[in-house]
Amino acid sequence: MTVKRPGRKAVWGACAVLAGVLLAGLTASVLLGTVTVSADAVARIVAWHLTGQGEPTWSASQDTVVWNLRLPRALLAALVGAGLAVSGAATQALVRNPLADPYVLGLTYGAAVGAVAVTVTGIAPLGGASAGVAAFLGALCAFAVVYALARAGGALAPLRLVLAGMAVTYALSGVTSFLVLQADDPGTTHSVLFWLFGSLAEADWASLGLPALVLAATMLALLAQARPLNALLLGDETAAGLGVPAARLRRHLFLLVALLTGVMVALAGGVGFIGLIVPHAARLLVGSDHRGLLPVAALAGAAFLVLVDIAARTALHPQELPVGVVTSVIGAPLFLWLVHTRARDTTGL
Amino acid sequence: MTSLILRDVHVTIGTTPVVTGVSLTAPSGGRVGIVGPNGSGKSTLLRAVYRHLPLAGGSITVGGEDLWALTPRRAAQLVAALPQETRSDFDVTVWEMAAMGRTPHKRPFAADTERDVAVVADALAHAGVAHLAGRRFTTLSGGERQRVLLARALAQQAPVLVLDEPTNHLDVRHQFDLLGLVTSAGTTVVAALHDLNLAAAYCDHVYVLAAGRVVADGPPYEVLTPELVREVFGVDAHVTSVPGTDAPHLILRPAAGGPTTR
């Protein structure tokens, strides 16, 4: 009897479509905004900066808006979206729960305490970069605490990870609220809240290198482990039988997730729901095999956040919304719909 | 063909010694059953063989190679396992599930080769689940799931196959089917079994475990005696034989005079 391998779900197709959406989103993001710049001018500005070709016929403010504000911001949105989505996919394998996101590990509020402490106290030894650096350090501290709490006999048990992450999240969200209430200056409170809900407003060219590097490195490390990650989904015993030491893999995975989430959160604040919704949607498209899931989730996350950022900038123009608010407002109903269809699919209800 | 040899194996969970000095030999191509009451250490012993639990003492060799001195990947090329628990919180198709058996044969970034595809297709066909290849694992019945998991273990192409209570939750016919498939695969088989009669029918050598030690071993008709069953399991047994074979068959009933304690 011969068996035909069932048709592989179209990973390449999904990647091609998502890459197209991402490119269209990036283009729209650079074209749209308060200052009107014609598409033609945008194209010439970008071409001039990239190749040095062409005559500068545009104003200095147009140049600044397109090249120094919109383009880096759109690219940061793509990087952060991709980073959070990949981080979410990895977290779901780490705690073996398709409904987990990187924030259950307590990293976000660790970052929040760091950033808010700098903003509220005004102590900024590193100048403008202080909040970001403090956020990253805060995320790493939260990571260390969760790691220590979740460690039992050298292994990181999924349930212990989630419980430790939740405990740390609650404790740190209390600290964050306290710090915010201590700030009597409404401007400070506003900027803190803006950070908590996620913002890409700080984007500039200098802020793109680090997330790009970290995203590329962690993506490579995760893809190298794609088959062991698949085995991890089946439980520690089965993984062991397939030559995958679950305890060791989970430690690597936690480190990668902490690094990736820490960097993204430090740059863009608490952008919610991408880490949960996007990997989930990617699974619906291409299945649970990480070899296809990780690239599809990365592209989908990038495209999603670029589009969300356009909405955040333009929906209540001239006021700007925090991107996290938009992702949550779009994300929550989408999530409920996914849970609903998933429950129907697996239980036959 | 390759033999599996356990020498004086100790396994400790937390600080509790669960397996204390088990020696066991599964000759090449042999079919070895491990029986014993709940908590006797059957699963724990097997978990040390497929490297889920570390050894606290003793050694395990496959074809002369020290299993615990190998990399996890290499060890899984020698021993395939069908553990009791396989989680399925994530959507996985039957094909993907069986293809995971190739994991220990693949290096990072290596793509599936034609040979991988052929091996997985053969394994599914041997386990009789080729027609389910496109289905989602979670939608299968208990009997189908167990056969898909067996296909995964077969796709691993390891000379030793370890099974932990493979017939749990299966009806009588599926129990026979599964053990028939396992014993016809031609590998060295070590299986923990609850059902003494299945052990008697499908194994050529039986080890009886109690409180983490081997209390008896040998061919089923020598080992599964009324005296041993009463002593180890605390029930009365009447031994007959399966017509047309030399396999013993046990008729079990509650011990006369109520439960016994050893």
Query: A305-337 pLDDT, tens per residue?
Result: 999 999 998 888 778 888 988 888 887 787 788
Output the CA–CA distances (angstroms, integers) from residue B38 to A321, B15, B208, B227, in the order listed.
61, 19, 12, 19
Contact B103 A287 (CB under 8 A): no
Task: For CA atoms A223, A225, A228, A232, give the dihedral sign.
Answer: negative
Q: What integer pLDDT is reported at residue B78 of this predicted model? A: 96
User: What mean pLDDT, rounded, does chain B reach?
Assistant: 91
Of chain A, the end-to-end C-alpha distance in Å amounts to 35
Count how many pairs of residues, chain A against chain B, have C-beta atoms within 8 Å.
122
Q: What integer pLDDT is reported at residue A154 of this predicted model? A: 60
User: Nearest residue of B to residue A246 by CA position?
Assistant: B52
Query: pLDDT confidence of A192, banded at 50, 70, 90?
Result: confident
CB contact B11 to A (< 8 Å): no
B125-142: average pLDDT: 91
pTM equals 0.90
For residues A28 and A42, what is the distance between their CA atoms, to the nearest angstrom? 11
B163 falls within a domain: yes
Domains of chain A (ranges plus CATH)?
Answer: 97-205+223-270 (1.10.3470.10), 271-340 (no CATH)
Lowest mean pLDDT among A152-161, B115-124, B173-182: A152-161
Q: What integer pLDDT is reported at residue A85 of this predicted model? A: 96
The model's pLDDT over B178-207, given as tens digits with 9 standing for 90+, comes to 999 888 888 999 999 999 999 999 999 999
A249-276: average pLDDT: 88
B259 falls within a domain: no
Q: What is the percent of chain B where pLDDT is above 70? A: 97
Contact A237 B108 (CB under 8 A): no
A291-301: average pLDDT: 95
Contact A223 B82 (CB under 8 A): no
> When comparing pLDDT for B72 and A53, which is higher?
B72
CB contact B73 to A (< 8 Å): yes
Number of independent structural domains in chain B: 1
Contacts of B80 in chain A (CB under 8 A): 241
Contact A240 B81 (CB under 8 A): yes
Closest CA to B165 of B199, B201, B188, B126: B199
Contact A234 B88 (CB under 8 A): yes
Q: Which of A234, A249, A346 to mutate to test the interface with B (most CBs of B within 10 A)?
A: A234
User: Nearest residue of A to residue B162 by CA position?
Assistant: A241
Closest CA to A269 of A114, A128, A98, A143: A114
CB contact B74 to A (< 8 Å): yes
Residue A34 predicted with pLDDT over 90:
no
Q: What integer pLDDT is reported at residue A129 of this predicted model? A: 67
B158-176: average pLDDT: 91
CB contact B95 to A (< 8 Å): yes
Residue A260 predicted with pLDDT over 80:
yes
Q: What angle do CA B146, B150, B151 make, to 5 degrees?
A: 120
A98-111: average pLDDT: 83
Closest CA to B84 of A97, A153, A234: A234
Contact A227 B106 (CB under 8 A): yes
Q: What angle do CA A261, A265, A271 make, to 5 degrees?
A: 105
CB contact B115 to A (< 8 Å): no
B164 falls within a domain: yes
Q: In the numeric block, which tokens belong to residue B28?
A: 């090449």
Q: Which of B12, B51, B52 to mutate to test the interface with A (most CBs of A within 10 A)?
A: B52
Output the CA–CA distances (angstroms, integers) from residue A186 to A181, A197, B252, in the order listed.
10, 17, 80
Contact A96 B83 (CB under 8 A): no
For residues B82 and B164, what is the distance between their CA atoms, to the nearest angstrom? 6
Q: What integer pLDDT is reported at residue A109 of this predicted model? A: 84
Lowest mean pLDDT among A70-84, B25-39, B70-84, B164-178: B164-178
**Chain A residues contacting B, CB < 8 Å?**
1-7, 96-98, 153, 223-225, 227-228, 230-231, 233-238, 240-245, 283, 287-289, 346
Q: What integer pLDDT is reported at residue B81 of this predicted model? A: 95
CB contact B114 to A (< 8 Å): no
Cβ-Cβ contacts under 8 Å for B7 (sequence gap 6 or more): B23, B58, B59, B60, B61
User: What mean pLDDT, rounded, does chain A reach?
Assistant: 85
ipTM: 0.91
- Give the 3-state secondary structure of A85-139: HHHHHHHHHHCCCCCCCHHHHCHHHHHHHHHHHHHHHCCCCCHHHHHHHHHHHHH
> When comparing pLDDT for B163 and B87, which is higher?
B163
Contact B52 A235 (CB under 8 A): no
Residue A9 predicted with pLDDT over 70:
no
Contacts of B133 in chain A (CB under 8 A): 3-6
B67 falls within a domain: yes
Residue A14 predicted with pLDDT over 50:
yes
Output the CA–CA distances (angstroms, integers) from residue A150 to A99, A101, A143, A251, A262, in the order listed.
19, 17, 10, 11, 19
Contact B52 A241 (CB under 8 A): yes
Contact B86 A234 (CB under 8 A): yes
Query: pLDDT confidence of B155, banded at 50, 70, 90?
Result: very high
Q: Give SS3 for B135.
A: coil
B39 falls within a domain: yes
Out of A56-70, A117-131, A181-195, A228-242, the most confident range is A228-242
Q: Is the peptide bond before A318 cis (omega within 30 degrees of 0)?
A: yes
**Residue from the list A6, A98, A235 with its beta carbon closest to the beta carbon of B134:** A6
Contacts of A227 in chain B (CB under 8 A): 100, 103, 106
For residues A297 and A282, what is the distance between their CA atoms, to the nearest angstrom? 5
Contact B47 A97 (CB under 8 A): no
Q: Which residue's structure tokens are 């979670």?
A: B138
Q: Give SS3 for B54.
A: coil
> When comparing pLDDT for B183 and A342, which is higher?
B183
For residues A175 and A223, what is the distance between their CA atoms, to the nearest angstrom? 37
A248-255: average pLDDT: 90
For residues B11 and B25, what is the distance between their CA atoms, to the nearest angstrom? 17
Cβ-Cβ contacts under 8 Å for A21 (sequence gap 6 or more): A303, A307
**Residue from the list B51, B93, B106 with its beta carbon closest to the beta carbon of A287:** B93
A221-246: average pLDDT: 94
Query: pLDDT confidence of A348, banded at 50, 70, 90?
Result: very low
Residue A146 predicted with pLDDT over 80:
yes
Q: What integer pLDDT is reported at residue A349 of this predicted model? A: 33
For residues B259 and A90, what is the distance between their CA atoms, to the nearest angstrom? 51
Cβ-Cβ contacts under 8 Å for A337 (sequence gap 6 or more): none
Contact B90 A283 (CB under 8 A): yes
For residues A291 and B111, what is the distance between their CA atoms, to the nearest angstrom? 10
A73-87: average pLDDT: 96
Q: Can you give the CATH number for the domain in which B115 is found?
A: 3.40.50.300
B126-146: average pLDDT: 91
**Residue from the list B103, B117, B138 with its beta carbon closest to the beta carbon of A231:** B103
Closest CA to A67 of B122, A59, B90, A94: A59
B260 falls within a domain: no
Which runs of consecutive H residues, i.e. helices, occur in chain A?
11-31, 39-51, 60-63, 71-94, 107-121, 130-150, 158-182, 186-196, 209-224, 226-232, 236-241, 246-268, 274-286, 290-314, 323-347
User: Nearest residue of A to residue B152 by CA position?
Assistant: A242
CB contact B85 to A (< 8 Å): yes
Contact A230 B103 (CB under 8 A): yes
Q: What integer pLDDT is reported at residue A198 of this predicted model? A: 86
**Residue from the list A3, A98, A230 with its beta carbon closest to the beta carbon of B130:** A3
The model's pLDDT over A110-142, given as tens digits with 9 standing for 90+, comes to 888 888 888 777 776 766 667 778 888 888 888
B261 falls within a domain: no
**Residue from the list A7, A228, A240 with its beta carbon closest to the beta carbon of B50:** A240
Contacts of B109 in chain A (CB under 8 A): 223-224
Query: pLDDT confidence of B257, banded at 50, 70, 90?
Result: low
State the Cα torsion A159-A164-A166-A168 to the nearest 10°.
-170
A198-205: average pLDDT: 86
Of chain B, the end-to-end C-alpha distance in Å amounts to 40
Residue A41 predicted with pLDDT over 90:
no
Residue B191's domain comprises: 4-254
β partners of residue B62: B4, B65
B216 falls within a domain: yes
